[in-house]
């Protein structure tokens, strides 16, 4: 396998880091979806508690317990969501830094290649022959 340049190595790392960022975003989206479901369930329990239907009055204590459990679950999911948001931000910042380093490495490699090309032209134009035997007396 050919030796990779620094920019190529960094490009691979950027791709991996962007994938980690995407995974963190998926985790955040899943947690947000779960919170939405819990909030919908809480709304339906509130509607049942406020209902004037005598059937719901018989289960009011069960509804209250269910609402409390859903509230606890919502708090847990809120904490998880904050953690996932922080992770997304952290992974994005890492990927951005790596991408900037990759660009700098690519620019440095281009400058070095351009410099070498100029040196080659100068050597061809003004360079001395490899051996003094090649010179004509």
Residue holding tokens 């951005």?
Answer: 96
| pLDDT score, position 135 | 52
Res 51: pLDDT: 83
| Domain membership flag for residue 65 | yes
- Total domains present in the chain: 1
**How far apart, in whole angstroms, are the C-alpha atoms of residue 100 and residue 14?**
10
Could you list the residue range(s) of the whole structural domain that residue 111 is in? 6-117
Residue 85 lies in a domain: yes
pTM equals: 0.75
**Which tokens hold the place of 61?**
């204590």
- For residue 1, the 8-state DSSP code is -
DSSP state of 77: H
Confidence tier at 115 by pLDDT (50, 70, 90): very high
More confident residue, 127 or 27: 27
**Per the domain annotation, does 128 fall within a domain?**
no
Say if 125 falls within a structural domain. no
| Average confidence (pLDDT) over 23-46 | 96
């Amino acid at each position: 396998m050919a030796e990779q340049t620094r920019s190529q190595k960094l490009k691979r790392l950027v791709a991996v880091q962007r994938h980690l960022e995407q995974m963190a975003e998926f985790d955040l989206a899943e947690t947000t979806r779960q919170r939405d479901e819990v909030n919908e369930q809480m709304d339906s329990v509130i509607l049942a508690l406020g209902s004037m239907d005598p059937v719901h009055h018989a289960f009011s204590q069960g509804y209250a317990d269910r609402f409390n459990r859903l509230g606890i679950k919502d708090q847990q999911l809120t904490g998880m969501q904050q953690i996932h948001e922080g992770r997304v931000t952290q992974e994005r910042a890492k990927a951005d830094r790596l991408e900037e380093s990759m660009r700098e490495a690519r620019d440095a490699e281009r400058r070095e290649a351009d410099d070498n090309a100029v040196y080659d032209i100068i050597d061809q134009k003004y360079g001395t022959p490899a051996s003094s035997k090649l010179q004509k007396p």
